[in-house]
Amino acid sequence: MKHIKNIGELYLLDWKRLVKNPITIFLVVALMVIPSLYAWFNIKALWDPYGNTKEIPIAVYSDDVGATLNDKEIQIGDQVIDTLHENDQLGWRFVKSEKELTEGVKSGKYYAGIYLPKEFSEDLLSFTKGEIKKPTIDYYFNEKINAIAPKITDKGASSLQEQITENFIHTASSTLLKAFNEVGYNLETNLVSINKVKNLILEVDKNADKIEGYTKEVLELQKKFPELKEKLAKADEFTNYIPEVDAMGEKLVAMNKKMPEIEEQAKIILTLQEKIPEIQNAGRQIAMVDEDFDQISATLTDGIAEAKKGLQVINDVQALLPKIEQLSGDATAFTDKTLEAANALEANLDSITQVVQTNLQMVIGLSETVNSWAGTINTILNESEDLTPEQRAALKKTLSDISASLAKQQVFIEDMINWFEQLGGLDQISGDFSGVKSSLREIQNVMGAAQKAADNLLRIIDSDDLNKASIQNFVQQLQELSGNIASIGNSIDVTAVSNQVHDLLANKLIPALTNAQSLLAATKNIDFESLLSSTEKTIGNAVTILEKYEKEMPAIGQEIHDANVLLNGHMDDIVNGINKGVDLYQNELPVLKEKLNLAANFITNDWPTLKTEITSTLDTMHEKLPKVETALNTAAELIEKDWPSLRRGVHKAADAIHKGEEIADLGDIIKLLKNDVKAESDFITSPVELKTTAMYPIANNGSASTPFYTALCLWVGALLLSSVAATEFHLEGKDKKRFSKRETFLARMGTFLTFAVGQTLIVTLGNYFALGVDVREPFYSVLFALVVGLTFMMIIYVLVGLFGNVGKGIGIIILVLSISGGGGNYPIQVSGKFFQFINPLLPFTYAVDLLRESAGGIYWPNATVNLLVLIGLFIVFGVVGTIVSPLMIKPMEKVEKLAKESHFFH
């Protein structure tokens, strides 16, 4: 109830703002009235377009010189001109010459021109001389002037032709029947049948040569029939390949289903193109490493030598410690030995510091090693969709190596932590390494978690519980481990820690040992054996690891050199290959996808029917072919044996008919020729009457066009309102938090729908009362229009409310498609296949059909369907818009921001 109350409050606030300002009141009235003007002007303009055809100028000129019939002058051209003078259906213009007529049509002065040639009357009466020659009427028209005018003028020319033909038939038939009446020629009951037989005999005799040609073609067909059966057998062979076609079709359909996955996998080429600078940079870095590798190897060898020297020094110091302890009672001897140990430490101080620095850098460098493990596992996973036994074996080996390496690294880190704790335990010297110890401990912990995950995967590596998701989670954990090591390692200042160790040993420990007499009591409390033992162990581990890497250095150097040659030697080919791959993905792959989709659709939708039709057709041919062969053989036998004698008999009968017509006695026929000549003449002129019944009569063309233009104006009105008014509800201060986005969306929806009601009432009532449109059901006309107006406004409001300017564009596209595809003024069947396809998808179709019901008379089965569709659209758009509107705010803000950056769109 609270939400409904808030919506109502916002709706009233909307209208309070509108009525406060005279300008907004004017805009409200304009937005409700202007769409109606669009409909009214068009309806009035089309009120009776064919009632004003008398204003369409058509030039007429008769050059007919007339003809003589029974010594009587006949001027049919003049009679036509006289008839047209009395005809006001078109704007006849009687010109002086043929040139004036044709030039007038060319210039556009006349829409069309009709010219009767000189021999018009003579040709029309040529049947009286036995040489029939059809008269011609030259008709000129200018299609450039107007699209509809040529159709109207063409109808005028056709009407003229029909009128002349009708008058000619009427005159000729009445004259002929009158002559029959005068000579006493009677049409007996059987005369029609007799004439049919007579005409058939005469026609056969007249076309005997043509029939002779047909008989030869039949015989030729009989000769080719074996060849036809052979071709049919070859067609049967095609059916043997149908299973192969089916198998190929199944592969095409399967490949089409895989196409989205292929397309998704192919997207990696776009990522590679984005990484080209990084690939090129990696090539440069590999080249630098390859170039400096000998120096790196030498540095590593020197580091190992220095570390071994430091280790030897520590061993020497450890060897001296028992003697120092034995001489602890003798201060002078203890001082000398302590001084000797201090001098030994000082001599190898740089080596010890270098070992500390190398150890820390090795720990930090573990980030790249962990990252390479993740890459190796990803490579195994990407080879196929399901894990093969070979992939499981490779994965098992990789996981085992990872687990063992992580265990060794944790021991190594633990030794380092212990060594730093020994240094930090020298309270008298105040060496503090808590920061580096904490960082090393954190690295050790994340390594332990990663090792545990690797061990868990190893336990299920050979079972069905292992899946790609769990492995990918482990890869993600390795990538996080790599990032954590890198992040924690970056927090360790290796140089500072090394300097701190150096300072601790050089400036504090060694001076403390040197000044043994003053610090003798303090030195007795120092556990030198533990400190030196820890140091020896740390350096020993470092030497072992460094010697391991030293052994691998030649192979590593060769691999780096090979990688340098392979990568940088083929860098242009790699870059060109990636770019060509991107071009293939962006240009060729969509074409392949479209063609493959068409082929798959054909296999899925059309091929089964086509296959059935091919099989059934061949079966039918096999079934009917023997009958056809039998009939053809029979016909050939008839032609070869009976046709010559049959032709001679028909020819004799035709000669007899001609002679009989010349010598026939008409005395017995005179009594029968007593029929009404005028009635018979009228019948011959127009033997059929057309009875017309209008199922849903509409008074005029304007009224018939009203549903189309009413629906059109309501859509235009909704678009106009969405272009002028904002779909966002402006709130200030606390009201922004008080009302939700969905409440403001519904409140503004109510305002838009109110405008729709106003627009609808104005246009429908104006149609009825102002224009006088013929409407059979006025009440339902208003009611149906309200349904249409509210539905259209809901669609436009939701589109614009969710998508902004994009929604307006969609509304305009629907409007453009609806004009041609909505079946408004012309039957949709005369439009193209595309418009016939979209016709049932457009809301405009159901709106126009619904408004037509109230205009001509309601047929409720049709009206109910249209009502349900429109109400359904209203509900669906309303519900979807209400649910989705808050979710579209941020995405559309980004779209509008991008559009505004062009400084062109608002």
Report the C-alpha gap between 487 and 367 in whole angstroms.
9
Helix/strand number for the chain, H first, E second? 36, 6
Under the banding of pLDDT at 50, 70 and 90, the label for residue 192 is: low
What's the pLDDT band for 667 if we cut at 50, 70, 90?
A: very low
pLDDT value at position 661?
65
Q: What is the pLDDT of residues 684-704, one digit of tens each?
A: 555 666 666 667 777 777 788
Instruction: Please name the amino acid found at residue 6.
Output: N
Give mean pLDDT, residues 449-461.
82
As a whole-number percent, the residues of the chain with pLDDT over 70 amount to: 72
Tell me the CB-side half-sphere exposure of residue 501, using CA atoms within 13 A.
27
pLDDT at residue 378 in the model: 78
Structure tokens that stand for 352 in this block? 């010890």
Of 80-94, 247-261, 358-372, 789-803, the range with the highest mean pLDDT is: 789-803
Q: What percent of the chain has pLDDT over 90?
A: 11
| pLDDT of res. 426 | 54
User: Does 184 score more than 50 pLDDT?
Assistant: no
Q: In angstroms, rounded to a whole number, what is the distance separating the alpha carbons of residues 790 and 787? A: 5
Q: What's the pLDDT band for 643 if we cut at 50, 70, 90?
A: confident
> 649 exposed, middle or buried (CB, 10 Å; 0-12, 13-18, 19+)?
exposed
pLDDT at 185: 42
Cβ partners under 8 Å of residue 283, min gap 6? 564, 567, 568, 571
Could you tell me what percentage of the chain is helix, strand and coil, using 3-state DSSP and rounding each to the nearest 5? 80, 5, 20
Q: What is the pTM of this model?
A: 0.42
User: Residue 116 pLDDT > 70, yes or no?
Assistant: yes
pLDDT at 385: 62
Query: Any idea of the CA torsion for 250, 255, 256, 262, to the nearest 10 degrees?
Result: 170
**137/63 Cα distance (integer angstroms):** 11
Closest CA to 744 of 549, 882, 593, 545: 882
**Least-confidence region, from 147-151, 454-458, 870-874:** 147-151
Q: Which helix (DSSP H) or strand (DSSP E) does residue 67 occupy?
A: strand 67-69
Q: β-strand 72-74 against 67-69: which pairing, if any?
A: antiparallel
Measured distance CA(851)–CA(870) in Å, rounded:
12
**CA separation, residue 52 to residues 60, 143, 319 (Å):** 19, 19, 129
User: Residue 186 pLDDT > 50, yes or no?
Assistant: no
Across the range 359-366, mean pLDDT stands at 70
Q: Is the pLDDT of residue 249 over 60?
A: yes
Provide the pLDDT for residue 669: 45
Structure tokens at 216: 């030869």
Instruction: Using DSSP bridges, classify how beta strands 112-116 and 57-62 pair: parallel, antiparallel or unpaired.
Output: parallel
* pLDDT, position 679: 58
Residue 758 confidence (pLDDT) = 93
Q: Is the pLDDT of residue 755 over 90?
A: yes
CB neighbours (10 Å) of residue 521? 8
Tell me the C-alpha distance between 78 and 846, whole Å: 54
Mean pLDDT to the nearest integer, 588-614 = 80
3-state class (DSSP) for residue 62: strand
Specify the pLDDT at position 430.
Answer: 46
A 10 A CB-CB count for 735 gives 14
pLDDT per position as a tens digit, 378-393: 777 676 666 777 777 8
The rounded mean pLDDT for the chain is 76
Q: At residue 189, what are phi and psi to the nearest 5 degrees?
A: -60, -40
Confidence of residue 94 (pLDDT cuts 50, 70, 90): very high
Pairing of strands 112-116, 91-94: unpaired
DSSP letter assigned to residue 91 = E
Average pLDDT over residues 323-345: 57
pLDDT tens per residue, range 782-823? 999 999 999 999 999 999 988 888 888 899 999 888 887 777
Which tops the pLDDT comparison, 47 or 783? 783
Q: What is the DSSP letter of 57?
A: E
Bridge partners of residue 774, in order along the sequence: none
- Whether the per-residue pLDDT at 495 is higher than 70: the answer is yes
- Is pLDDT above 90 for 878? yes
pLDDT band at 307 (very low <50, low <70, confident <90, very high): low
Amino acid, res. 75: Q
**pLDDT for res 484:** 81
Backbone CA torsion sign across 332, 336, 337, 338:
positive
Taking residues 76-97, report their average pLDDT: 83
- The pLDDT, as a whole number, for residue 251 is 78
Report the pLDDT averaged over residues 164-182.
Answer: 50
C-alpha R_g of the chain:
52
**pLDDT band of 187, cuts 50, 70, 90:** very low
- Distance from C-alpha of 327 to C-alpha of 409, rounded to nearest angstrom: 41
- The two tokens of residue 457 are 């995967």
Return d(Cα 600, Cα 664) in angstroms, integer: 76
Which range among 169-173, 384-388, 451-455, 662-666 has the greatest average pLDDT? 451-455
416 has pLDDT over 70: yes
pLDDT tens column, 211-230: 878 787 777 777 777 877 77
Task: Look at residue 857 and give its three-state secondary structure.
Answer: coil
Would you say 13 and 732 are in contact if contact means Cβ atoms under 8 Å apart? no
Average pLDDT over residues 624-642: 75
Residue with tokens 């010559």: 644
Question: Picking from 201-210, 358-367, 725-734, which range would have the lowest pLDDT averaged per residue?
Answer: 358-367
Calpha distance 764→752 (Å, rounded): 18
Average pLDDT for 695-718: 85
Q: How far apart are CA 764 and CA 707, in angstroms?
A: 10
Q: How far is the C-alpha of 893 from the C-alpha of 886, rounded, in Å?
A: 12
Which pLDDT score, from 0 to 100, does residue 139 have?
Answer: 86
pLDDT at 664 over 60: no
The reported pLDDT for the residue numbered 861 is 92
- Give the confidence band of 341 by pLDDT, cuts at 50, 70, 90: low
CB 797 within 8 A of CB 723: no
Return the pLDDT at 429: 46
Whether the pLDDT of residue 773 is over 50: the answer is yes
Of 689, 672, 661, 686, the C-alpha closest to 177 is 672
What is the rounded distance in angstroms from the CA atom of residue 379 to the CA atom of residue 483?
Answer: 20
Token pair of 26 as six digits: 């004017």
Q: For residue 865, what pLDDT band results from cuts at 50, 70 and 90?
A: very high
pLDDT at 675 over 90: no
